[in-house]
Chain A
Amino acid sequence: EPEVTQTPSHQVTQMGQEVILRCVPISNHLYFYWYRQILGQKVEFLVSFYNNEISEKSEIFDDQFSVERPDGSNFTLKIRSTKLEDSAMYFCASNDRGSTGELFFGEGSRLTVL
């Protein structure tokens, strides 16, 4: 069964460092998303991406964040200069056009900023 894969599963970084989280969405999907979940809190939408551009982004997705689809398979989230409060689980998701909204999630990348 096709699945969304994410790497790394866990990354520890120092405050101020750049981090890139990688995702490989399901191959025939056209819409891609990043969500995050701070430990013990609600899942929060960060950004959606379609046709090589951002469709929508939340207030959390400020200038420190960027997304890219560098090739036909990867979808990356970059945090330019990490802050302590960026520590969270980051989930990538994808779905196909015309779906009823079901998102297919990866297992998440846990980011710890020290």
Chain B
Amino acid sequence: GDSVTQMEGPVTLSEEAFLTINCTYTATGYPSLFWYVQYPGEGLQLLLKATKADDKGSNKGFEATYRKETTSFHLEKGSVQVSDSAVYFCALYLMDSNYQLIWGAGTKLIIKP
């Protein structure tokens, strides 16, 4: 079945370090891909998205490129800040899935000053 696999956390980095959080997916069709972020004590917010192969989503300095050949959508940021500490969820959506998002398990990111 369709699924999303994320790297396990927590990921601990120092401020200004380079961030990569890996996400790979399995899907029978051509999904849209998303990164959602959950800051401590808050709800889920869309961080970025990509709807077709080779699209790059970007927001707040984060980027992810939809790679169909490797079925991946890795999240990257060149220089992280303490305020980026949160849980990051990769998710996919298929048009024939009754509009249901399929989620990864989430990766907790801890940024130390």
Contacts and interface: CB of A to CB of B under 8 A. Distances in A.
Interface of A: 31, 33, 35, 41-45, 48, 50, 55-56, 91, 95, 100-108
> 10 closest pairs, A vs B, by CB?
A101-B93, A107-B43, A56-B98, A101-B32, A105-B44, A108-B43, A100-B51, A43-B103, A100-B32, A55-B98
Given A43-B89, A100-B32, A100-B93, A105 B101 contact: no
Given A105-B43, A108-B43, A45 B93 contact: no
Contacts of A33: 99-100
A48 B105 contact: no
A84 B42 CA distance: 22
Contacts, number: 60
A50 B43 CA distance: 23
A31 B99 contact: yes
B74 interface: no
The CB with the most chain B CB atoms within 10 A, among A31, A45, A104, is that of A45
A79 to B, nearest CB: 19
Interface of B: 31-32, 34, 36, 42-46, 49, 51, 89, 93-95, 98-106
Nearest to A31: B99
Given A42-B103, A100-B51, A101-B101, A91 B46 contact: no
A42 B34 contact: no
B99 A106 contact: no
A56 B49 CA distance: 24
A20 to B, nearest CB: 19
B36 to A, nearest CB: 8
Nearest to B104: A42
A103 B106 CA distance: 17
Given A42-B106, A91-B43, A100 B100 contact: no
5 contacts: A56-B98, A91-B44, A101-B34, A101-B94, A105-B44
Contacts of A102: 32, 34, 46, 49, 93
